[in-house]
Amino acid sequence: MKYQKKTVDIVVPCYNEEEVLHMFYQETQKILDTIEDYQFRYLFIDDGSRDKTLFILRELAASHPHISYLSFSRNFGKEAGIYAGLKHTVADYIIVMDADLQHPPALIPTMIEAVKEGYDCCAAMRLSRKGESKIRSAFSRIFYKISNRFTDVKMEQNAVDFRIMSRQMVDSILELSEVQRFSKGIFAWVGYRTKWLPYENVERPAGKSKWSFWGLFKYAIDGITAFSIAPLRLVSTMGCIISFFAFIYIVITLIQTLIFGIDVPGYVTTLCAVLFLGGIMELSIGILGEYIGHIYMEAKDRPIYLIKETNLPKKHAAVSKAADEYSHRNEENYDTSTME
């Protein structure tokens, strides 16, 4: 592979983004055209979209040699999309950004300047959460408070998944091969020198957000359990504290019984104790269950994504066996001119 200029791969996960894809390409390309000395390539990941996303990507790839795409066999989630994208990049620098133009392409030149200055990474962070529901902002604040307090990785609260990273940093990220991925934590965990780039939140020009409240809640729990065993410690600490008070209470009750004889009333105390301890036990089993669930999913070691179709040249596409066979039958799908 002969590259004269430094190369930058832009990884864009897309799920049902037919309404914004053309706009995304035009807006981003307008900015990229102003940057010299760097050669850009797009790598779109169609995350099992049910609309015309894949169709549009095929069209874009057919008419622009610097556009490649991977298409999953079903929806695997944005995390899988980012992972697959990073895995198939070959450039000196890699940008990850959303397809919905909520990550302003206008920040790209500043990001490039930052890596030129010697930073390994330049990541965008929102100045405000304008346009987001109050409940979602409040829960997100609580999540970052809890996870930054109890986990070793310090996550920037307003960070978004829009960043440029050096090849070295991306290779480090790819070494973390866990199946249940939490990119914000992984980005923070690998370290490297990061420059933060604040920007005003932008609303989607079209299409809608794929996140539901429960989806985010689950994601937050996964985030904490993936990076910390603090909840398990909490269970054992709670056990110690409760046992300590239980012991004191037992001693007091025993002495009372010995001095005053058996005191029959105690219905309320008994009921409270049973309910309280029952609750604590359910909670503790739940916390243990979360971790066991994680171990179970990781132990199965299933692939993080399955590629159904791609226009990447075969040598760069670490495609699954099934996709490989598909490609033999569809050799014309591969546009090798992109990777000269």
**Contacts with ligand UDP, 22-51, as mask; x by CB under 6 A:** -------------------------x----
Nearer to Mg ion, 71 or 102 (CB): 102
Nearer to ligand UDP, 239 or 303 (CB): 303
First to last CA, the chain: 6
Longest dimension (CA), the chain: 93
3-state secondary structure of 208: coil
Q: Judge residue 156's burial from the number of C-beta atoms within 10 Å of its C-beta, 0-12 exposed, 13-18 middle, 19 or more buried.
A: middle
Are 227 and 152 contacting, i.e. CB atoms less than 8 angstroms apart?
yes
Beta carbon of residue 303, minimum distance to ligand UDP (angstroms, whole number):
16
Are 217 and 139 contacting, i.e. CB atoms less than 8 angstroms apart?
yes
Amino acid at 112: I
Nearer to ligand UDP, 17 or 309 (CB): 17
Determine, following the binding rule CB under 6 A, whether residue 54 of this chain makes contact with ligand UDP: no
Closest-CA residue to 167 (of 192, 188, 198):
192
Residues 209-238 interacting with ligand UDP (rule: CB under 6 A): 209-211
A 10 A CB-CB count for 322 gives 12
Contacting residue, 11, 32, 57, 99, with ligand UDP by CB under 6 A: 99
| Residue 77 partner contact from Mg ion, ligand UDP, none using kind-dependent CB cut-offs of 5 to 8 Å | ligand UDP
Contacting residue, 77, 85, 185, 231, with ligand UDP by CB under 6 A: 77
Residues with Cβ within 8 Å of 172's Cβ and at least 6 positions away in sequence, in order, are 190, 192
Determine, following the binding rule CB under 6 A, whether residue 147 of this chain makes contact with ligand UDP: no
| Residue 81 partner contact from ligand UDP, Mg ion, none using kind-dependent CB cut-offs of 5 to 8 Å | ligand UDP
Question: Dihedral sign, CA of 168, 174, 180, 181?
Answer: positive
Number of residues that bind Mg ion (CB under 5 A): 2
Are 68 and 43 contacting, i.e. CB atoms less than 8 angstroms apart?
yes
Beta carbon of residue 17, minimum distance to ligand UDP (angstroms, whole number):
5
| Residue 211 partner contact from Mg ion, ligand UDP, none using kind-dependent CB cut-offs of 5 to 8 Å | ligand UDP
Contacting residue, 7, 11, 17, 93, with ligand UDP by CB under 6 A: 17
- Token pair of 259, please? 């001095």
Determine, following the binding rule CB under 5 A, whether residue 102 of this chain makes contact with Mg ion: yes
Nearer to ligand UDP, 21 or 334 (CB): 21
Nearer to ligand UDP, 211 or 247 (CB): 211
Determine, following the binding rule CB under 6 A, whether residue 100 of this chain makes contact with ligand UDP: yes
Binding region for ligand UDP (CB under 6 A) out of 36-44, 204-212, 313-321, 325-333: 204-212
Residues 253-282 interacting with ligand UDP (rule: CB under 6 A): none
Determine, following the binding rule CB under 5 A, whether residue 17 of this chain makes contact with Mg ion: no
Tell me the pairing of strands 307-310 and 67-72: antiparallel
Determine, following the binding rule CB under 6 A, whether residue 105 of this chain makes contact with ligand UDP: no
Determine, following the binding rule CB under 6 A, whether residue 19 of this chain makes contact with ligand UDP: no
Residues with Cβ within 8 Å of 265's Cβ and at least 6 positions away in sequence, in order, are none
Determine, following the binding rule CB under 6 A, whether residue 78 of this chain makes contact with ligand UDP: yes
Runs of H (alpha helix) within the chain: 21-32, 53-63, 78-87, 108-117, 134-150, 167-175, 183-190, 213-227, 230-260, 267-300, 321-329
Residues with Cβ within 8 Å of 161's Cβ and at least 6 positions away in sequence, in order, are 78, 82, 96, 97, 98, 103, 183, 184
Contacting residue, 28, 102, 158, 311, with ligand UDP by CB under 6 A: 102
- Token pair of 85, please? 């994208």
Contacting residue, 9, 46, 79, 100, with Mg ion by CB under 5 A: 100
Residues forming the site for ligand UDP (CB under 6 A): 13-15, 17, 47, 75, 77-78, 81, 98-100, 102, 209-211
Residues forming the site for Mg ion (CB under 5 A): 100, 102
